[in-house]
Amino acid sequence: MLKVENLHASVGDKEILKGINLEVKAGEVHAIMGPNGSGKSTLASVLAGNEKFTVTEGKVEFEGENLLDLAIEERSRKGIFLGFQYPVEIPGVTMANFMKLAVNEHRKARGEEPLSAAEYLKMMREKSAIVELDPKLTSRSVNEGFSGGEKKKNEIFQMAMLNPKLAILDETDSGLDIDALRIVATGVTRLHTPENATVVITHYQRLLDYIVPDYVHILYKGRIIYTGDKTLALKLEKEGYDWLINDYKEE
Amino acid sequence: MQNMVAVSSSGKVGSGRWSLVADHDAQIVVEGGCRAEIIIADSDAVVKLNITVEPNALLSVVHAVTAGGTTTIDYTLLEGASCRVTEVVLTSSELNISARLDAPMASFELDGAFILTGDERGSVKVDVAHNVADCTSRTSFKGVASGRATGRFSGLVYVAPDAQRTNSEQSSRNVVIGDAHIDTLPQLEIYADDVKCSHGATVGQMDSEAVLYMRQRGLSLVDAKRLQIEGFVADVAMHSSISDTAERLTELISAKLETL
């Protein structure tokens, strides 16, 4: 589904990604971990198409198509979803109105008719239940005045509405208490199918108790320096990153 | 909009809804203790309206500036009078509003927005005079300008030496798109010492993080920007001082935003 080869990306003069290789197949869950400042969020942003970053080298293919040629909204309509680490507040724009436009843009891209008001309301009700999001929140402005937990639930609600092929979740677990974490993680798991794929970026093993990864990658200084299975996350929880980073330094 | 009665010339108005075509000068008195709503229909003339709100009357006013011209509206509020005004400026024009709080316990509230596009030029001036003690006022005006448009907001809150316990807020928030320009001049002139007055003004670009967020969900750049601006100004319409005009004002604003 996603094939990243030797990806280099910079912001200004500063190179942050220094040759990422990653392949994600349908049905897989990948976790990306690593110390602060290693480039995890940058990788998510670059894959989503944030223009703040410049790709200087490498290739990214999504379902056989060159992803780097596409604008951020085109990537979204092709089925790439980014769960934001810091969801943005948009005063005066209701969730319901915003998501209706988004859902219908996705439908248009697939050559489908816009949803009727009744179909849309039904869809919102069903999808908000997946993350136990209070349906009243959909009549409020996007993320405005939402608690930390509500913001993250709202990200997964949007993911449910847009039904992406590839979801990249950037520290969706940060700032969540244990109940909100369970609800958000369970929501992600329920949305997972053999046809789609999930990449979760996280600092903590605790998210991976719910979202069990097929692969765990360690990102350090802009490169994936180690790839293992779910037991790698447990080892990191106990032993930290030092043993890996030290190995890497010696290479 | 039923039971609407036109105010064609100067005179007294009581409870009910009135329409006023702003194509001639007028002197209007809102009778004490009543609840009146006045919807002002715009014209391109130069007009001056004097509106006196008698004791304990509650007046709500909605005015959409769609024809241009120069409109001056002077409100005089007597004891315990309340006045809530919604102004939406959608074309080149000059709008001068003054409110004189001449007796205690009077309250004046103004919520407004201007949206200017292309080569339009608009100016909004709001002067609020707290002439006596124990009155409140709140002015909140939002501005959007795109293309080569120029917008200007100037607001003055005057607090007379004896106007103790005045409570006044004034805010001017503006978004500039492209080569457009907005000036904002909020001013306070305070001669009393026991007062609570705040004012603030901002002129900014679009919030690029919000636009990026919306695009990540599949909205085009144009739609994301329009939605954001709509959100910024829509609450002026949504909280219109005459609630059943909200829908009409929202339509006017949406149509104007199509031309951004």
DSSP alpha helix (H) spans, chain B = 208-216, 221-238, 246-257
C-alpha torsion B129→B130→B131→B132, nearest 10: 170
Sign (positive or negative) of CA dihedral A146, A147, A148, A150: negative
Q: Domain locations in chain B?
A: 5-206
Q: What span, in angstroms and rounded, lies between the C-alpha atoms of A22 and A6?
A: 9
pLDDT score of A240 more than 50: yes
State pLDDT tens for residues A198-235: 999 998 888 888 999 999 999 999 999 999 998 888 88
Could you tell me if B220 lies within 8 Å of chain A, comparing CB atoms?
yes
pLDDT in tens, B133-160: 999 999 999 999 999 999 999 999 999 9
Condensed to tens digits (0 to 9), the pLDDT of residues B98-131 reads: 999 999 999 999 999 999 999 999 999 999 999 9
For residues A165-171, average pLDDT = 97
CA-based nearest distance A169→chain B, Å: 13
Sign of CA dihedral A138, A93, A143, B170: negative
Q: Read off the pLDDT of each residue in B192-208 and give the average, rounded to a whole number.
A: 90
DSSP A88: P
Per-residue model confidence (pLDDT) at position B204: 84
Give the C-alpha separation, A97 to A30, whole Å.
32
Residue A251 has pLDDT above 50, yes or no: no
Q: Is B222 on the interface with A (CB under 8 A)?
A: no
pLDDT computed for residue B1 by the predictor: 44
Q: Taking residues B211-234, report their average pLDDT.
A: 93
- CA–CA distance from B49 to each of A127, B85, B96, B125 (Å)? 53, 14, 10, 15
Whole-number Å distance between alpha carbons of A49 and A68: 7
Give the chain A residue whose CA is nearest to the CA of B218.
A73
Q: How far apart are CA B73 and CA A88, in angstroms?
A: 40
List the structure tokens of B143.
């501005």
% chain B with pLDDT above 70? 97
CB contact under 8 A, A50 and B212: yes
Q: Measured between beta carbons, which residues in chain B are less than 8 angstroms from residue A98?
A: 214, 217, 219, 227
Q: Rounded to an integer, what distance in angstroms lies between the CA atom of residue B24 and that of residue A236?
A: 79
The pLDDT of residue A203 is: 83
How does residue B187 score in pLDDT terms, banded at 50, 70 and 90? Answer: very high
Inter-residue contact B160 to B191 (CB < 8 Å): yes
Q: How many CB pairs under 8 A join A and B?
A: 73
Task: Tell me what pLDDT residue A198 has.
Answer: 97
Q: State whether B216 and A97 contact (CB < 8 Å).
A: no
Pairing of strands A29-33, A197-201: parallel
Cβ contacts of A101 on chain B, cutoff 8 Å: 219, 223, 227
pLDDT at B3: 53
Q: Which residues of A touch B233 (CB under 8 A)?
A: 92
Are A101 and B232 in contact (CB < 8 Å)? no
Chain B residues whose CB is inside 8 A of the A48 CB are 216
The region of weakest confidence among A155-159, B169-173, B210-214, B235-239 is B235-239
From the list A50, A76, A92, which residue is nearest B234 (CB)? Answer: A92
Residues of B in contact with A96 (CB under 8 A): none
Mean pLDDT over each residue of chain A, to the nearest integer: 93
Partner A, chain B 148-177, Cβ-Cβ below 8 Å: none
- pLDDT tens digits along A109-121: 999 999 999 999 9
